């Protein structure tokens, strides 16, 4: 563990990344699709000489800038903030691997911002052709920024041949790249139409103009839904085996997968029956329901995308608990507390008697008083487990997950984490440290709920279930 | 506990570019970010004050600045990504622990930025509607001004804590649960924090003053003759206030808070030239503004551009000095930091070249778009 761990009560620090990311993608996809919408529709309005439609598009451009340039940009920076705080090692690896990918994305952001402001503030003051060209520059720059960031986020799920080659381009053009670009481009088109519908339904009084907006945006939305389905199927095909297994195994993800299919289907049907076949249906209530369904489907998809990476932050490169897979063997030999910069410093300060010759003497750990063992077990929990588990209560709380388990079973689970649950990282400490964390976990796990029949273990001592030996005892 | 104990020295991957390249873009990015950032940092509160006690022309300048502010803030935030990116490439072992120790205040930057941004927009829209501004946009403008100054304080905390490794232990011990940081620390015990924060405000006042003449000459030619004559004098006075502020805060920072190693390096040997240049550089835009004011005529476009370039040079020299001081501070803790970083580099040449091409191409497109905007008709065609 190279960095200090940030303890966020109940939620766990990585959940903050998830929260901000979900909010951000709901706006950032609109920032991409909205560019195409404004460029295509402004061109159509110019060609047909539809001044009312042009007026609406100008108002929409203002709404678009207010939402995407301000809120979208800040939440994007917010993701940077949170990944550095909650996943510092993974962020370090990603930034050093893809710094030029991010730097290129930044250039396209500059182009986007300049284009967006000139497109809006100089509306009616530029020649139509120039105005449209700038609209298209925005749309293309925004889409390229989507492509660039997708290369990096897709890498996190399946880095492909990068593990061997360490090549920027091999990592960027990973197996997940094309599927996710297709799905995200489709998502951008679909989500944009849903934003447009809500905005138009609230701001356009004239029924014929509202119908025009409804019918013009229906085809891109339906195309987007098809692209999401195609990209999603390819995404699933190119998932690593572990990610497919998690999808098949985890009940919450089963439910979420069913939910995402149901929501996408509902959105598709509503789009077909509503704006495509019956543009007149576009009322604020209908548009709000459509957008809510769309946002729910999107959020669910993003959550699933994050969840299937377990136990990694970057597949096979950085484990969720901020250690490198290559470090696990050495940490098992020298100890988790000794191997972590901040855990070692904590122990040296709190229990200097444990440090012999500048290193933590693992054999002395179990000689500590019980409460000190539990405290060091708590340290191990914070650094080894808190990335995915709250302690007593909260997100995936370890105490609740272990409720009723006797210490021997907890100990066995700790030492065989990756074998009992393949989506968990392997235990990266010594047997003595496994005992410390077991003490801590047993102290926070509530007892088995009373009154459950049949109570087959009523008279069995917990230690009877599995023999427990430390390495020191074994020797 | 030794400060070294809290800094991991091994790295999972090497630098993707030569260290000089990373530091060059970090410094360039910071200077580019500082220009618009200065305009909202000091300009926003100045515009609010001018609305209350600015006289006719002062209020007019405040209105002009606040109308431009949405664009200024958008570009300023965007340009801030560059130094943030390269600081993480160059010093992850220092940047991440420091920000984790103050994680909640650091996260507050994002939480405060959203209301500050929309507060500024509300005020800007209030101006566009004309007439007397209602209390809501006026209050929103004041809130935004205060929030941006608070955000500046949090930034100063984060970046000063990054090189104040000696205080990490105390902050961590005062705010942890079983060794995990609670993220509630701040670097307020660091004597460099306060002058650094105040120094930036002085620079921001000077940049805002330079913007007064740049805006008037390049974008405000349709303002009254009286306004155009007023601008250079106001700019010079504002610049003088900023310069005095900069001199006091800078002297406090350099003479009272620099550790011995930094003082030795910056006041003796070849770096004394850089220190002197940093202190004296604001003299050039100040002098140019004085000359413009004494002419008692609207400032010409070339003269205004010269003031702008001179002030950008002031920001650039400050950014270079800050980088040198930062490197000396880091080497004070870890003498081998830069040698090791450079030794471990694994340069990604083809992505680097593609980035440079994209950078040049992207800037060309931006310049073309701005040129189209400058040529645009002043009146709406519909």
Show the 3-state SS of A207-267.
HHHHHHHHHHHHHHHHHHHHHHHHHHHHHHHCCCHHHHHHHHHCHHHHHHHHHHHHHHHHH
Nearest-Cα distance to chain A for B344, in Å, is 12
> How many other β-carbons are positioned within 10 Å of the β-carbon of residue A456?
7
Is the CB of residue B92 less than 8 Å away from at least one CB of chain A? yes
**Sequence-separated (6 or more) residues with CB below 8 Å from residue A380:** A336, A337, A343, A429, A433, A436, A437, A440
Q: Which of A7, A95, A342 sits opposite B89 (nearest CB)?
A: A95
Q: What is the pLDDT of residue B241?
A: 98
The span from the CA of A436 to the CA of A6, in Å, is: 21
The span from the CA of B52 to the CA of B56, in Å, is: 10
**Sequence-separated (6 or more) residues with CB below 8 Å from residue A212:** A50, A53, A279
Is the CB of residue B122 less than 8 Å away from at least one CB of chain A? no
Is the CB of residue B369 less than 8 Å away from at least one CB of chain A? yes
**Sequence-separated (6 or more) residues with CB below 8 Å from residue A298:** A22, A25, A26, A29, A187, A191
Helix (H) or strand (E) holding A10: none
Pick from B206, B203, B287: nearest CA to B253: B203
Residue A471 has pLDDT above 60, yes or no: no
Pick from A72, A1, A2, A87: nearest CA to A31: A72
Q: Which of B13, B92, B180 sits opposite A7 (nearest CB)?
A: B180
Q: Please give the average per-residue pLDDT across A46-63, as a whole number.
A: 97
Q: What is the pLDDT of residue A465?
A: 52
Q: What is the pLDDT of residue A10?
A: 93
Contact A2 B1 (CB under 8 A): no
Contact A77 B77 (CB under 8 A): yes
Is the CB of residue B182 less than 8 Å away from at least one CB of chain A? yes
Q: Which of A87, A92, A441 to mutate to test the interface with B (most CBs of B within 10 A)?
A: A92
Q: Which of B121, B180, B346 sits opposite A383 (nearest CB)?
A: B180
Q: What is the pLDDT of residue A474?
A: 47
The span from the CA of B44 to the CA of B153, in Å, is: 16
Interface pTM, i.e. ipTM: 0.92
Q: Is A360 in a helix, a strand, or coil? A: strand
The span from the CA of A430 to the CA of A433, in Å, is: 5
The span from the CA of B243 to the CA of A72, in Å, is: 36
Q: What is the pLDDT of residue B128?
A: 75
Residue A344 with chain B: CB contacts under 8 Å: 5
Is the CB of residue B181 less than 8 Å away from at least one CB of chain A? yes
Tokens found for residue A32: 């991409």
The span from the CA of B19 to the CA of B174, in Å, is: 35
Q: Give the residue from chain A lying closest to B3, CA to CA.
A: A345
Q: What is the pLDDT of residue A133?
A: 98
Q: What is the pLDDT of residue B10?
A: 67
**Is residue B235 within 8 Å of B285, Cβ to Cβ?**
no
- Per-residue pLDDT of A346-385, as tens digits, reads 999 999 999 999 899 999 999 999 999 999 999 999 999 9
- Report the CATH number of the A325-448+462-474 domain: 1.10.760
Q: How far, CA to CA in Å, does A155 sit from each of A152, A158, A281, A311?
A: 5, 5, 42, 15
> How many other β-carbons are positioned within 10 Å of the β-carbon of residue B326?
21
Residue A69 with chain B: CB contacts under 8 Å: 70, 74
Residue B179 with chain A: CB contacts under 8 Å: 5, 342-343, 346, 379, 382-383
Q: Give the residue from chain A lying closest to B360, CA to CA.
A: A107
By CB atoms closer than 10 A (0-12, 13-18, 19+), residue A45 is buried
- Any idea of the CA torsion for A102, A104, A110, A113, to the nearest 10 degrees? -70
Nearest-Cα distance to chain B for A377, in Å, is 9
Pick from A81, A152, A59, A76: nearest CA to A112: A76
Q: Please give the average per-residue pLDDT across A87-99, as a whole number.
A: 94
Pick from A197, A195, A187: nearest CA to A286: A197
A312 phi, psi to nearest 5 deg: -105, 155
> How many other β-carbons are positioned within 10 Å of the β-carbon of residue A469?
11
Contact A51 B379 (CB under 8 A): no
Tokens found for residue A430: 């010594």
- Per-residue pLDDT of A400-409, as tens digits, reads 999 999 999 9
Tokens found for residue A360: 């933590």
pTM for the model stands at 0.93
B5 phi, psi to nearest 5 deg: -65, -20
- Per-residue pLDDT of A212-250, as tens digits, reads 999 999 999 999 999 999 999 999 999 999 999 998 888
Q: Give the residue from chain A lying closest to B183, CA to CA.
A: A6
Q: What is the pLDDT of residue A475?
A: 45
Which single residue is written with the structure tokens 């941006």?
Answer: B148
Residue A143 has pLDDT above 80, yes or no: yes
The span from the CA of B218 to the CA of B233, in Å, is: 17
Which single residue is written with the structure tokens 């136990």?
Answer: A311
**Is residue A382 within 8 Å of A40, Cβ to Cβ?**
no
Q: How many CB pairs under 8 A join A and B?
A: 235
Is the CB of residue B19 less than 8 Å away from at least one CB of chain A? no
**Sequence-separated (6 or more) residues with CB below 8 Å from residue A264:** A225, A228, A229, A297
Extract the residue ranges of chain B whose pLDDT is less than 50.
382
Helix (H) or strand (E) holding B177: strand B176-177
Helix (H) or strand (E) holding B180: strand B180-181
Residue A277 has pLDDT above 50, yes or no: yes
Q: What is the pLDDT of residue A239?
A: 94
Q: Where are the alpha helices (DSSP H) in chain B?
A: 19-41, 43-53, 55-90, 92-101, 103-128, 135-162, 168-174, 193-219, 225-251, 260-267, 271-280, 283-294, 301-333, 337-343, 349-375
**Sequence-separated (6 or more) residues with CB below 8 Å from residue A389:** A12, A395, A396, A397, A398, A401
Q: What is the pLDDT of residue A460?
A: 55
Q: What is the pLDDT of residue B382?
A: 47
Strand residue runs (E) in A288-433: 312-314, 318-319, 355-356, 359-360
Residues 333-352 of B with CB under 8 A from A: 346, 348, 350-352
**Is residue B12 within 8 Å of B65, Cβ to Cβ?**
no
Q: Where are the alpha helices (DSSP H) in A308-402?
A: 328-334, 336-339, 341-350, 370-384, 398-401
């Amino acid at each position: 563990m190279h960095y200090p761990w940030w303890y966020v009560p109940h939620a766990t620090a990585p959940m903050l990344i998830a929260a901000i990311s979900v909010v951000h993608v709901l706006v950032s996809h609109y920032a991409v699709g909205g560019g195409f919408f404004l460029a295509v529709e402004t061109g159509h309005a110019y060609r047909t000489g539809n001044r009312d439609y042009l007026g609406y598009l100008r108002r929409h451009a203002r709404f678009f800038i207010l939402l995407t340039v301000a809120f979208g940009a800040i939440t994007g920076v917010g993701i940077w903030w949170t990944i550095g705080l909650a996943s510092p090692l993974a962020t370090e690896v990603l930034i050093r691997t893809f710094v030029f990918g991010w730097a290129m994305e930044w250039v396209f952001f500059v182009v986007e911002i300049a284009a967006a402001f000139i497109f809006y503030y100089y509306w009616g003051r530029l020649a139509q052709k120039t105005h449209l060209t700038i609209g298209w520059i925005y749309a293309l720059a925004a889409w390229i920024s989507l492509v660039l960031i997708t290369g990096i986020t897709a890498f996190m799920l399946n880095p492909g041949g990068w593990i061997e080659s360490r090549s920027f381009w091999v990592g960027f053009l990973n197996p997940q790249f094309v599927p996710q670009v297709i799905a995200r481009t489709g998502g951008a088109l679909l989500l944009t139409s849903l934003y447009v519908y809500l905005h138009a339904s609230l701001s356009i009084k004239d029924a014929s103009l509202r119908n025009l907006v409804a019918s013009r945006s229906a085809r891109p939305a339906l195309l987007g839904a098809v692209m999401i389905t195609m990209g999603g199927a390819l995404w699933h095909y190119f998932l690593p085996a572990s990610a497919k297994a998690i999808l098949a195994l985890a009940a919450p993800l089963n439910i979420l997968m069913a939910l995402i299919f149901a929501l996408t289907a509902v959105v598709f049907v509503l789009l077909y029956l509503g704006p495509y076949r019956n543009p007149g249906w576009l009322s604020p209530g209908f548009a709000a329901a459509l957008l809510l369904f769309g946002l729910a489907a999107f959020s669910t998809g993003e959550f699933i995308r994050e969840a299937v990476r377990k136990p990694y932050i970057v597949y096979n490169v950085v484990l969720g608990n901020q250690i490198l897979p290559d470090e696990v063997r050495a940490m098992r030999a020298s100890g988790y507390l000794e191997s972590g910069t901040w855990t070692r410093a904590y122990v040296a300060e709190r229990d200097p008697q444990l440090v012999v010759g500048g290193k933590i003497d693992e054999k002395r750990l179990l000689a500590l008083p019980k409460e000190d063992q539990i405290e060091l077990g708590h340290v191990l929990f914070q650094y080894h487990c808190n990335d995915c588990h709250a302690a007593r209560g909260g997100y995936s709380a370890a105490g609740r997950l272990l409720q009723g388990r006797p210490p021997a079973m907890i100990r066995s689970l700790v030492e065989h984490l990756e074998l009992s649950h393949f989506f968990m990282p392997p235990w990266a400490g010594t047997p003595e440290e496994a005992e410390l964390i077991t003490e801590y976990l047993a102290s926070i796990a509530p007892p088995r709920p009373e009154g459950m029949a049949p109570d087959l273990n009523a008279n069995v001592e917990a230690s009877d279930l599995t023999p427990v030996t430390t390495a020191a005892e074994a020797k | 506990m030794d400060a070294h104990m809290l800094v991991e020295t091994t790295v999972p991957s090497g630098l993707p570019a030569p260290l000089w390249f990373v530091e060059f873009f970090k410094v360039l990015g910071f200077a580019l970010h500082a220009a618009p950032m200065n305009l909202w940092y000091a300009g926003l509160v100045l515009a609010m004050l001018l609305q209350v006690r600015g006289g006719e022309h002062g209020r007019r300048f405040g209105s002009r600045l606040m109308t431009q502010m949405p664009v200024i803030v958008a570009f300023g935030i965007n340009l801030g990504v560059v130094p943030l990116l390269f600081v993480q490439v160059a010093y992850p072992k220092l940047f991440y622990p420091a920000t984790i120790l103050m994680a909640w205040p650091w996260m507050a930057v994002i939480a405060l930025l959203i209301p500050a941004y929309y507060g500024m927009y509300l005020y800007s829209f209030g101006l566009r509607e004309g007439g007397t501004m209602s209390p809501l946009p006026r209050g929103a403008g004041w809130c935004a001004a205060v929030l941006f100054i608070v955000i500046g304080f949090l930034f100063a905390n984060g970046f000063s804590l990054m090189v104040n490794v000696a205080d990490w232990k105390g902050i961590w011990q005062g705010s942890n649960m079983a060794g995990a940081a609670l993220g509630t620390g701040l670097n307020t015990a660091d004597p460099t924090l306060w002058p650094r924060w105040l120094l930036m405000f002085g620079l921001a006042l000077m940049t805002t003053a330079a913007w007064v003449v740049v805006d008037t000459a390049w974008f405000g030619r349709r303002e009254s003759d009286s306004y155009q004559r007023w601008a250079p004098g106001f700019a010079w006075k504002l610049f003088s206030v900023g310069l005095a502020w900069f001199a006091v805060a800078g002297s406090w920072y350099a003479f009272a808070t620099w550790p011995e190693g930094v003082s030795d390096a910056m006041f003796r040997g070849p770096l004394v030239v850089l220190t002197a240049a940093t202190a004296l550089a604001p003299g050039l835009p100040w002098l140019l503004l004085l000359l413009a004011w004494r002419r008692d005529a609207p400032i010409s476009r070339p003269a205004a551009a010269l003031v702008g370039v001179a002030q950008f040079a002031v920001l650039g020299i400050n950014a270079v000095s800050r980088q040198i001081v930062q490197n000396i501070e880091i080497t004070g803790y870890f003498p081998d930091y830069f040698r090791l970083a450079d030794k471990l580099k694994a340069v990604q040449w083809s992505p680097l070249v593609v980035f440079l091409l994209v950078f040049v191409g992207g800037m060309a497109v931006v310049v073309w778009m701005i040129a189209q905007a400058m040529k645009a008709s002043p009146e709406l065609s519909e």
